[in-house]
Chain A
Amino acid sequence: MFATQNIFAQYAGFKPIADVLAFKAKFTQESSKIRSLSCQFVQEKSLEALSEKIQSKGKFYFKKDNKVRIEYLKPFSYLLVMNGDKMLVKDENKTNQVNTSSNKLFKQINRILLDCLQGNVMNSVDFSSKAFESNSQYLIELKPKTKTLSGYFKSILLWVDKKDYTATLIQFDESGGDKTSLQFVEKKINPTLADTLFAVGTSN
């Protein structure tokens, strides 16, 4: 009784999904239909102890398999491209290629984002997961099981649209209380996206 009340208090409007196994299978199956995605994003970083927030926005592209392009446009410009184990970052001053396979933490964060987008996140060995639902959305709560990840994140929350099984919001809750959220809007499902968008050469 008390446990149920706590869950409702934690995620207002959501109730636990009764048949989690069926949901997992459906989530994986529906996500597999999403071969590409383009949308706008709004990121918000909240520093809780300092009561400070900073918002940024830009364009987000995803293409199977394992390709992501995040293009920050306001209030700064910054480009992040992930393509398999390769990553390209470009700020106003410099372009850097990073091989994520040599950096365990980068690789894990890269994996989380892709698993969220490809519907595999509930199968991840790095997290224990719980699933909830409202009338229009699913909410997946992920708690890190590994020491490296739990040093940074208390939990990761993923809101998924019931209509098309795409992510609407991902929220990273840090161990120290700060949060970073990524909201996805104006989504286009399965647009044609050129591979050049995901090129990790330094000429982007």
Chain B
Amino acid sequence: MLTRFLLWAPAISFLAGCSSAYKDLAASAKPAVASIYSNPLPDTSIWYRASVDIVGNHLSGLLLIKSRNDSARIVFTNESGFKFFDFEFGPTNYFKKHSVLPQMDKKAVIRTLQNDFLLVIGYPFRSPNLQYFQDGRFQYIASQYDNKLAYLVYPLDSKTIDHLELASKRKKLVTLTFEGKSLQAAESIKIEHHTFNMQIQLSKLKTGNVSQ
């Protein structure tokens, strides 16, 4: 059911309308805004409480984002320790699927998760070919990847980010909001898909000795 929906998602997004959500964007100069990513990645290990709602299914568990030597591992387990997936990301499009639950091991599912977490890690915004736009309300830093455009969206009058978007040429596909100065060490992250019903919510856990 889940896989069938993800396979159809691009077609649904195309049929949803031909008027572009980005038609009012005009090219602009590079905006003077605060970066939300460190380059290279900071050496961190952060555990999040994770909740994933996808086409009527609810998964909850713990998600680890561990960065070392500019690569990142993302591991999602349920509360009892049973692993859903373990992915490795590196710069220059490196991606390795270390393990994935057989029911989730479908190309469309993996690609969707890969694109979502690339926004969190931030590799696409290292591109030397970033584009800059603005409309009446926001200024945008855009990067092209996987035939899509990823946008960092800042209010016109602020250096602080408002949210991120992932879009096709015409349609907004994903909105990502977060709390914290850096997305790579955020207190909480919310990823919402617009072309099918999927939402990922992460909130940082206070880990360590639990005996107190």
Contact = CB atoms under 8 A, between A and B. Distances in A.
B75 A75 contact: no
A94 to B, nearest CB: 5
Contacts of B99: 176
B203 to A, nearest CB: 9
20 contacts: A42-B211, A43-B80, A47-B64, A50-B45, A50-B64, A50-B75, A54-B47, A54-B205, A55-B208, A57-B210, A75-B205, A76-B62, A76-B205, A91-B60, A92-B51, A93-B201, A94-B51, A94-B58, A94-B60, A180-B80
A72 B82 CA distance: 15
Interface of B is mostly: strand
Interface of A: 42-43, 45, 47, 49-50, 52, 54-57, 70, 72, 74-76, 78, 80, 89, 91-94, 96, 109, 152, 172, 174, 176, 178, 180
Nearest to A78: B79
Interface of A is mostly: strand
Interface residues of B, number: 27
B49 interface: yes
A52 B49 contact: no
Contacts of B82: 109, 152, 180
Contacts of A80: 79-80
A75 B58 contact: no
B52 to A, nearest CB: 10
A78 B82 CA distance: 14
B83 A91 contact: no
Contacts of B209: 55
Contacts of A172: 81
Contacts of B51: 91-94
Residue from B75, B80, B211 having most chain A Cβ neighbours under 10 A:
B80
B77 interface: yes
B43 to A, nearest CB: 12
A186 to B, nearest CB: 12
B194 to A, nearest CB: 20
B49 A92 contact: yes
Nearest to A172: B81
Nearest to B212: A74
A185 B70 CA distance: 41
B148 interface: no
Contact of A56 (B64, B83, B98, B210): B210
B209 to A, nearest CB: 7
